[in-house]
Amino acid sequence: MSQSFVMLKPESALYINEILEELQKEKFSIGKPYLIENYKSFAQAIYYIANYVKDPRYYEIIKACIEAETILFGNMAMLLSVSNEEDLIQHLIHLDQIKSRIRKVISLSKSKCLQAFIDVDKLDVDCSSATYGDIQILLDGCPQETYKANTATGNFVCFYLSYMHTIDPEYGIYQKTIELIQNSHRLRPLSKSEFQITQKYKTYHL
């Protein structure tokens, strides 16, 4: 049996039941839930392990996305312990596939109304995928006017809601992430009744 964790981000609260159903449908057992009481700090530490060494510049963009998430949805999130009968790497690959599928389904069917952009010039990083231009107000996809702000022009990357994070299927990253979780002071175990409240009211703000 293999065990790991799924981080449900602040924006995932509205879809927590769909995410739990998908995990259970794929034969994952849901273990102990934890409330992440400072998502911004916790998520930055988690992504540092997975991304900073590989691409420090991309990590700066991730930090900006985390900041945007907390501004839009608050600084509370959830961590779920999950397990199944697969060997560890296949377990992590399976979770990664579920994560990608859930992101795609929710983004395409339920999140089209929100589109955000990050000006990478303010991050002092070089991002080849950024697009130079003005922020514009659209109606049915057609530009209506330029957003009235001193910072309307810049190099922008699209910020998309990713809803959940799973540990990358690499043994080294897995070990470091588990160690961080075990030593974290930002996690509070939820009782059964508290977990039921999060599902009923679709909120992590208890």
List, in sequence order, every beta strand (DSSP E) within 70-203: 77-84, 116-119, 131-134, 136-139, 142-146, 153-159, 164-166, 187-189
Instruction: Give the three-class secondary structure for 144.
Output: strand
177 contacts: CB under 8 Å, gap ≥ 6: 5, 46, 49, 50, 167
Domains of the chain: 2-113+163-201 (3.30.70.141), 115-160 (no CATH)
Residue from 79, 59, 75 nearest 67 by CA = 75
Report the predicted TM-score, pTM, of the whole model to 2 decimal places.
0.82
pLDDT at 199 over 80: yes
What is the bridge-based pairing of β-strands 164-166 and 187-189? unpaired
**62's tokens:** 């991730």
pLDDT (0 to 100) of residue 146:
47
pLDDT at 147 over 50: no
139 contacts: CB under 8 Å, gap ≥ 6: none
pLDDT (0 to 100) of residue 105:
84
Instruction: For residues 124 and 168, give the distance between their C-alpha atoms in angstroms, rounded to a whole number.
Output: 27
pLDDT tens digit sequence for 32-77:
999 999 999 999 999 999 888 788 877 887 887 888 889 889 999 9
pLDDT at 31 over 70: yes
